[in-house]
Structure 1
Amino acid sequence: MSRKPLVSGNWKMHHTHLDAIAFVQKLAFSLDAEDHRRTDVSLHPAFTALRSVQTVLDADRIPVALGAQDVHWEQKGAFTGEISPLMLAKLNVSYVIVGHSERRQYFGETDETVSKKVRAVLAAGMTPIICVGENEEQREAGGAEDLVVGQLEAALRSVAPEAVASLVVAYEPIWAIGTGRTATPDDAQAMAAALRAAVVADHGSEAGAGVRIQYGGSVNPDNVADMLGGPDVDGALVGGASLDAEVFARLITQLRPG
């Protein structure tokens, strides 16, 4: 199965809604039809900018998907400060990042809450981008592959095989996020292959063939083509390099053949 690459820009806690509008307009001008034909692109602004980005994307018919950075697993309730899957779906959000390492590290996300969020996102008709990855200490101790595969298996508990086939998994080695360090292309491919093999073992060959696996961790225009060179690496979850429209566009255009 040929899997179209997905490049996702995670803005984290950057850009006001006005900044976001200007960014989207500039990005749209910088990409052409061939870029969109070859690569899916999603933008993940802060919650305060979602509506503004949605309006620009829809009004100008820009073929970029709207994404969110997080979600609560309940549809509604007394959860001050949280955003429900229903709220996101009503804004035409297509992709939701779930279990990002920063959510795990700073906000107490666990494999259990990640699993709840995955199921909630799917129930609302959106696609989760499930983040998995090891920190430097875990990598140096050995067993990183087992740890990362275990995170994915926990996230996919009780998810039907046909749903798994449409998912996105982002492998983000925590030691490479915001540090300027990156895993090698061989490292990225080896972990992506292990994750795909685990999906095949647990959910079947069709699910394994369909799931898209991104690499995330200091991805930039200079290394993105190499990092996505492996047969099991189907895209990138981009942090810092997604904050500037020109840089992000250049990153995307690096995936053109030749």
Structure 2
Amino acid sequence: MMKPLIVANWKCNPTTLKEAKRLFNLVKKGIKNIKNIEVVICPPFTYLSSIKYQVSSIKLGSQDVFYEEKGAYTGEVSPRMLKNLGCQYVILGHSERRIHLGETDEMINKKVKATLKKGLKVILCVGDKSRKSKEDIKEVAFQLKKDLKGIKKSDFKNLIITYEPIWAISTMAGRVATPKDAKEGAEFIQKTLIKSFGFKTAKKIRILYGGSITSKNARDFIYKGKMDGLLIGQASLDPKEFIKIVKSLSS
């Protein structure tokens, strides 16, 4: 079994560089002796250059990227720029970007291709908006088909898929996702990948869970949910809680 991959998605937080450095350093200190967990921290773009010089065993990631290398694209950041800053991972297709920023599968596909071309690892997020019937999860298959269109099999070693149960993590969510739900999502993703790309290629791809995670349920989502790791939002902003999560998976 590969090391669990724990990804901290800070989203649009914290609001100052001082707070960002403090949060990073507290986490760094708290997990410095843990060897059997791979940890990635994805701060906002504005903090990447400062945190770059403080990374050690913790890897650095970005929350998004643009698909062109350079040019007249106001406000955008390219894969080449991220690589130059020391980023190794890029989160793409997060549900919040799909919902609030109108990001389409076609745009995500371009970003995936551009990111992989630069040798960066892609954390691609896919998810279903409802789980009222067995047909609802098929939305994930449609996303995978579009988001991974034209991707070379040789690039799959740098691809990670995150399952986001949008029906459970949105502000209007009616119920909480369980490890069983996560397992069903992961199994569906793997079956879809096997069907599209073959067993050997699909088995190389790690699948993470991207729902509500705490130190109390992290182990269950990894071991009962059969996940290869976690994409953590809210809990990653609380250094004590995030450290507890990492430690709970290292034992």
How big is the shift at 1:48? 0.4
Residue equivalent to 2:109: 115
When structure 1 is superposed on structure 2, of 221-230 and 93-102 the one drifting more is 221-230
The question of 1:50 aligning with 2:44 is answered: no
CA contact (8 A) 1:178 1:217 kept: no
Identity within the alignment, %: 38
The question of 1:89 aligning with 2:83 is answered: yes
Cα distance, 1:200–1:3 mapped onto 2, change above 3 Å: farther
Code of the aligned partner of 1:7: I
Q: Could you say what the CA RMSD is over the residues aligned between the two structures, in angstroms? A: 1.6
C-alpha distance in structure 1 between counterparts of 2:145 and 2:44, whole Å: 28
Gaps of 5+ in 1: none
| Partner of residue 64 from structure 1, selected from 54, 58, 61 | 58
CA contact (8 A) 2:32 2:57 kept: no
Cα distance, 1:186–1:226 mapped onto 2, change above 3 Å: same
Residue equivalent to 1:222: 216
Cα distance, 1:231–1:240 mapped onto 2, change above 3 Å: closer
Counting matched residue pairs gives 248
Residue equivalent to 2:158: 166
CA contact (8 A) 1:98 1:128 kept: yes
Residue equivalent to 1:6: 5
CA contact (8 A) 1:189 1:230 kept: yes
Code of the aligned partner of 1:176: A
CA contact (8 A) 2:68 2:78 kept: yes
Residue equivalent to 2:31: 31
Cα distance, 1:178–1:219 mapped onto 2, change above 3 Å: farther
When structure 1 is superposed on structure 2, of 94-103 and 24-33 the one drifting more is 24-33
TM-score, normalised relative to structure 2: 0.93
| Partner of residue 234 from structure 2, selected from 236, 240, 245 | 240
C-alpha distance in structure 2 between counterparts of 1:184 and 1:231, whole Å: 8
CA contact (8 A) 2:179 2:225 kept: no
Code of the aligned partner of 2:131: R
Summarize the alignment of residues 139-158 of structure 1 with structure 2, pairs less than 5 Å apart: 139-140=131-132, 142-158=134-150
C-alpha distance in structure 2 between counterparts of 1:203 and 1:91, whole Å: 32
How big is the shift at 1:71? 0.6
Gaps of 5+ in 2: none
CA contact (8 A) 1:178 1:218 kept: no
CA contact (8 A) 1:100 1:131 kept: yes
CA contact (8 A) 2:182 2:225 kept: no
How big is the shift at 1:119? 0.5
When structure 1 is superposed on structure 2, of 179-188 and 39-48 the one drifting more is 179-188
The 3-state SS of whatever aligns with 1:255 is helix
Residue equivalent to 2:68: 74
CA contact (8 A) 1:156 1:164 kept: no
CA contact (8 A) 1:41 1:65 kept: yes
| Partner of residue 199 from structure 1, selected from 190, 193, 206 | 193
How big is the shift at 1:87? 0.8
CA contact (8 A) 1:97 1:129 kept: yes
Deviations 1:107-150 (A, max 9, x none): 11111111111011101110110000122xx3225422211122
C-alpha distance in structure 2 between counterparts of 1:212 and 1:78, whole Å: 35
